[in-house]
């Protein structure tokens, strides 16, 4: 089958690949481009581990065809830190011990970032709502909720 070209920005740098038509963005990122931060937990849209940010919106990369991402700006967790300095959401996950095996973490961090981008001072209920598409086997969620609330507080202190 003929390959199709795709071109997008990933964490600020231009990427161009030839892929099989029908390849999911998740597989293109992991197997073609080598960004393994999005995880494949279910490949059917039920776990959230593959979450990425496409043009500012939270998306499940396992349900997104790579060829629909032409020209898009894609952010993954591997692109969040700058010059070795962790993003405030990543920092907060460390500070609240919100990760154990870490499989859910990149997807959960994406969900948290999109929430805070849109709603810098979320209520606990808004955090819970934003995380409700991300399954975690290990933490019992409380430390993740606390991480997002902590990152929000850090944001508002920086803004003040």
Partner 1 sequence: MAIRRGRGVAAINYPTGMNLGGDPTQALVHSTPTGNFMVTLSSVDLGQGMKQIMAQICAETIGVPTDRVVVDTADTDTGPHCMGTFASRGTHRAGNAVIQAAREARQVMLEVAAEELEVNASDLETDGQGNILVKGAPQKSISIFDVALSAHFKRGRSISGRGMFLIPRSYPEKETGAMKPSTCYAHACTVAEVEVDDETGEVTVLTVKNIFEIGRALNPKMVEQQLVGGSWMGISHALYETTEPYYPNRDHGGTDFNQYLMPGPGDLAETEIIVLERPSADGPYGAKGPGEMCANPQIPAVANAVFDAVGVRIDTLPITPERILRALKAQAPN
Q: Which residues of this chain interact with ligand FES, rule CB under 6 A?
A: 40-43, 45-50, 60, 62, 99-105, 136-139
Least separation, in Å, of the C-beta of 131 and ligand FES? 11
Output the CA angle 150-54-146, nearest 5 degrees: 15
CB-wise, 73 or 138, nearer to partner 1?
138
> How far is residue 8's CA from residue 146's CA, in Å, rounded to a whole number?
34
Which residue's Cβ lies closest to ligand FES? Answer: 62
- Which of ligand FES, partner 1, none has residue 122 at its interface (CB below 5 to 8 Å by kind)? none
> How far is residue 25's CA from residue 30's CA, in Å, rounded to a whole number?
8
CB-wise, 5 or 102, nearer to partner 1?
102
> How far is residue 158's CA from residue 70's CA, in Å, rounded to a whole number?
35
Q: Which tokens sit at 138? A: 């290990």
Least separation, in Å, of the C-beta of 147 and partner 1? 12
CB-wise, 12 or 45, nearer to ligand FES?
45
- Which of partner 1, ligand FES, none has residue 142 at its interface (CB below 5 to 8 Å by kind)? partner 1
Look at the chain and count its residues: 160
- Which of partner 1, ligand FES, none has residue 55 at its interface (CB below 5 to 8 Å by kind)? none
On the CB side of 108, CA atoms within 13 Å amount to: 30
> How far is residue 139's CA from residue 141's CA, in Å, rounded to a whole number?
5
Least separation, in Å, of the C-beta of 159 and partner 1? 26
Least separation, in Å, of the C-beta of 71 and ligand FES? 22
CB-wise, 16 or 86, nearer to ligand FES?
86
> Is residue 124 classed as helix, strand or coil in its secondary structure?
helix
- Tell me the residue ranges of DSSP E strands in 98-142: none
């Amino acid at each position: 089958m003929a390959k199709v070209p795709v071109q997008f920005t990933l964490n600020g740098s231009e990427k161009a690949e030839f892929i099989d038509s029908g390849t999911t963005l998740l597989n293109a990122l992991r197997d073609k481009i080598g960004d393994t931060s999005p995880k494949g937990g279910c490949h059917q849209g039920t776990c959230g581990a593959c979450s990425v940010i496409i043009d500012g919106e939270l998306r499940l990369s396992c349900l997104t065809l790579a060829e629909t991402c032409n020209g898009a700006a894609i952010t993954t967790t591997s692109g969040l830190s700058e010059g070795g300095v962790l993003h405030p959401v990543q920092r907060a996950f460390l500070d609240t011990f919100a990760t154990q095996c870490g499989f859910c973490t990149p997807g959960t961090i994406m969900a948290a970032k999109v929430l805070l981008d849109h709603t810098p001072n979320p209520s606990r209920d808004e955090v819970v709502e934003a995380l409700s598409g991300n399954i975690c086997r290990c933490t019992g969620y409380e430390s993740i909720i606390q991480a997002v609330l902590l990152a929000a507080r850090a944001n508002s202190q920086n803004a003040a």
